[in-house]
Chain A
Amino acid sequence: MTTLLPEDRAVDSHARSKSAEMRKYGFFPGCVAKESCKELYNSTMLLADALGIELVELTAASCCGASVVNDTNRDIARVLNARTYAQAEALGLDDVITICSTCTGHMRAANKELLDKPEHLGQANAILGKFGAAYNGTVRVRHLLWLLIDDIGLDNLRKMVVRPLNGLKVAPFYGCHIIRPESVNGWESARNPHSLENVIAALGGEPVDYAGKTRCCGFHIQLEKENVAANMVGQNMRMARDNGAEAVITPCPLCHLALDGYQQDAAARWGRTDLPTFHLPQLVAFALGVPTDRLGLNKHLIDPRTIMVERDLIS
Chain B
Amino acid sequence: MAEIKLDVFRYDEGVDAVPHRDLVTVDLPETTTVLDALEAAKAQVDGSISFRRSCRSAICGSCSMNINGVTALACKTPCNTVMNEHGAISVDPMPNFQPMKDLVVHMDPFWDKYTRLKPYLQSADPDEDHERERRVSPDDMKKLVDVANCIMCATCYALCPVVSVDPAFAGPAAIAYAYRFIEDVRDDRRDQRIAQISEDYLWLCAHCYACSYCPKHVDPHDRIVDVKRAAIKDRVMMNERGPRHALVVSKTIKQTGMLAETEVIQGTVGRFNIVGLLKVAPLGLRMAAKGKLPPPFVKPIPKIDEVRTIFESLEVPVS
Contacts and interface: CB of A to CB of B under 8 A. Distances in A.
Most buried by B among A32, A36, A224: A224
B207 interface: yes
Given A218-B161, A261-B283, A59 B302 contact: yes
Given A176-B209, A223-B265, A261-B287, A133 B314 contact: no
B185 interface: no
A191 interface: yes
A181 B228 contact: no
Contact of B209 (A70, A180, A219, A232): A180
A55 B137 CA distance: 51
B247 interface: yes
B306 A228 contact: no
A83 B261 contact: no
A232 B261 contact: no
A62 B209 contact: no
Contacts of B213: 191
B165 A66 contact: no
Contact of A218 (B206, B232, B290, B294): B206
A264 B113 CA distance: 32
A299 B250 contact: no
A314 interface: no
B208 A216 contact: yes
A131 B310 CA distance: 10
Contacts of A219: 206
Interface in A215-229: 215-216, 218-221, 223-226, 228-229
Interface stretch (B176-184, B188-196, B238-246): B238-246
A35 to B, nearest CB: 4
Interface stretch (B38-46, B57-65, B252-260): B252-260
Contacts of A80: 253, 307, 310
A263 to B, nearest CB: 11
Interface in A27-81: 31-32, 34-37, 59-63, 65-76, 79-80
B247 A66 contact: no
A182 interface: yes
A32 B262 CA distance: 11
B229 A62 contact: no
B203 interface: yes
A65 B213 CA distance: 24
Interface string B257-279: 11111000100110000000001
A265 interface: yes
B311 interface: yes
Contacts of B212: 180-183, 190
A79 B161 contact: no
Contact of B291 (A62, A65, A182, A299): A299
B286 A176 contact: no
B225 A191 contact: no
A154 B250 CA distance: 39
Contacts of B245: 68, 223-224
A233 to B, nearest CB: 10
A127 interface: yes
Given A72-B232, A183-B212, A191-B70, 7 more contacts: A36-B287, A36-B292, A61-B301, A70-B225, A73-B316, A231-B165, A232-B165
7 contacts: A70-B225, A72-B232, A183-B212, A216-B162, A223-B241, A228-B166, A262-B283
